Amino acid sequence: MTRIEVLKTYKLYIGGQFPRTESGRYYPLLDKKKNVIANICLSSRKDFRNAVVAARGAFGGWSGRAAFNRSQILYRIAEMLETRKAQFIEELLLQGATKSQAEKEVTLAVDRLVYYSGWCDKFTAVFSSVNPVQSSHFNFSVPEPTGVVAAVASEDSSLIGLVSVIAPIIAGGNTCIVLASESKPLCAVTFGEVLATSDLPGGVVNILTGNAGELISHMASHMDVNALVYCGSDKATIKSAQELSALNVKRFFNWSLNWNDGSSQNPYLICDLQEIKTTWHPIENIGTGGAKY
Amino acid sequence: MKKIDFTQTPVIDQVSVEERVARLNTRSIKKSAKVEGLKLALNLIDLTTLEGKDTAGKVKQMCYKAMHPHDELPGLPTVAAVCVYPTFVGLAKKELGDSGVKVASVATAFPSGQSTRQIKIEDTKFAVSEGADEVDMVISRGEFLVGNYNYVFDEIAEVKEACGKARLKVILETGELSTLDNVRRASEIAMRAGADFIKTSTGKIQPAATQPVTLVMLEAIRDYYYETGIMIGMKPAGGISTAKSALNYLVMVHETLGNAWMNNEWFRFGASSLANDILMQLAKEAKGVYQGGDYFSKD
């Protein structure tokens, strides 16, 4: 008797769980020869809403962790991704990449995670400042995480675009909901499995698959989302997302970058999703000689 | 009056109860029906604070919230009542004035109920003398579990007498009763001893209110009504924190007891965080966008 292959069901990643879309909607993912590779969840606004609840719930714990601990966890994600390289390469091949492209993309994704892992406990030192003021105060500014971030990952790549947008967001202590590439969603779901085994608390990263055009207005208008990152270049989408973001003065960023390029990884992306808090701490007197804190 | 043997109360088929709950939960309530349901649910809430760290300030703030759930949205009802410890009853009464929001007080050595009969009666009388409209008592679960049903019955009857005009809610603390059979039995004892309401939980023990437990209690109320013609109120408390689950409870009440119970004379939710979730859903329906907790008062 011939064995029937056991196929994987590609689901969403919300709050550390792998639910199907609540809407029950799917779209078929086709390979070059128009064969169906998998049925992918077509997420609804309610899936997004559930993901926001999960992300909000996880925010206190994640932002409250020591920066060094966040760094360790990002490194752990890199470790997990490295050990599952073969699976990601296989999925990239299914989605039309060549062997060498696929290998390069996975390696780059691992390296990118290690890069941001290193920045976790260092970026605050770079972006903080002690400010000279005209009164007897010790005045200093420090970055703090913005909160819950919604993101639309690049449509062009399956893995590197997703990792490159998630890493700087969570490195800074935010939690996020990321919509994966609609045409190349396989690695996104598998990356959720990597996250689930990386000591990353459930809800810090939530991954949806589906249509950006359908979901972005809900991402931009949701009052409990603090920032929106859009990795695309559609002018009309950017304009309407910016307008809706104004509802709760949400931060909007258009990261239209070439993620395969080394220059696309930098600490300024972490800093985009930070709010600067300035503290005025009273001191006895001012002056260069004898300021007493 | 017919003599009741409390060892012979109906036994409950747990699997069927859970299946019925699951079936009722598939009811879909959308659009304007949802808005009406949510407004009703808001009007059924006993806004509750029962913490060791409660202060006069906290109680005052909660009373304001009870009368003005979210002024930004016009046409909202008030909640049904605030629920506090006896020492805060006088203050809550003063703050709420003639707003129509009632004051409920827990009593009888809440939440454990481990005290003497005398102290429990005094506790109740104090709450009533301070102006409580409703008293939430706890039953003696230990005595119930060893089978001392008469003790539990007599205690409820005595507290009821001490309540005078105040309505009495009897907390069964179902999380400590282990089985649905026990929940049914405790409900029978409470109703026959003079309870005006039966209530699931103190909120201090997990699990607190669950749908199967609530359904069993609702059915006990229904059977008692068919037998005697007396209406008894129901109050699930603890653990109901989302608007969606509140609607699920309303479906159960409607299906089991009918329209007569769909008001705050006969049905209440004991909750603290539920109110804000309902308000967020109502704001979502009014404004069309999902809401965030930052825009709603915490207490």
Per-residue pLDDT tens digits for B46-64: 999 999 999 999 999 999 9
Digit-coded pLDDT (tens) for B121-164: 999 999 999 999 999 999 999 999 999 999 999 999 999 999 99
Q: How does residue B2 score in pLDDT terms, banded at 50, 70 and 90?
A: low
Digit-coded pLDDT (tens) for B79-91: 999 999 999 999 9
Q: Which positions in chain A have a beta carbon within 8 angstroms of at least one beta carbon in chain B?
A: 49, 52, 56, 218, 221-225, 247-248
pLDDT at residue A287, as a whole number: 57
Digit-coded pLDDT (tens) for A115-170: 999 999 999 999 999 999 988 889 999 999 999 999 999 999 999 999 999 999 99
**What does residue B267 show for φ and ψ, rounded to 5 degrees?**
-145, 135
**Residue B291 to residue A56, Cβ atoms within 8 A:** no
Q: How does residue A283 score in pLDDT terms, banded at 50, 70 and 90?
A: confident
pLDDT at residue B3, as a whole number: 74
CA distance A245 to A201: 28
- Helix, strand or coil for residue A98? coil
> How far from B77 is each of A41, A178, A269, B99, B246, CA to CA, in Å?
40, 38, 46, 11, 16
Kind plus residue range of the DSSP H or E element containing A119: helix A99-119
User: Of these residues, B46, B123, B136, B196, which one is catalytic?
Assistant: B136
- Domains of chain A, start order: 26-282 (3.40.605.10)
- Among the residue ranges A281-285, B46-50, B281-285, the one predicted with the least confidence is A281-285
Query: For all residues of chain A together, what is the average pLDDT?
Result: 95
- CATH fold of B27-295, please? TIM Barrel (3.20.20)
Q: What is the mean pLDDT of residues B198-211?
A: 95
Percent of chain A with pLDDT over 90: 90
B30 vs A: CB within 8 A: no
pLDDT at residue A285, as a whole number: 65
Contacts of B291 in chain A (CB under 8 A): 223-224
pLDDT at residue A240, as a whole number: 97
Q: Find out whether B104 and B82 touch, Cβ atoms under 8 Å.
A: yes
CA distance B213 to B228: 23
Contacts of A49 in chain B (CB under 8 A): 290
- Residue A54 Cα, gap to closest chain B Cα (Å): 13
**Residue B295 to residue A218, Cβ atoms within 8 A:** no
- Residue A246 Cα, gap to closest chain B Cα (Å): 13
- Helix, strand or coil for residue B50? coil
CA distance A131 to A277: 12
B293 vs A: CB within 8 A: yes
Query: For all residues of chain B together, what is the average pLDDT?
Result: 95
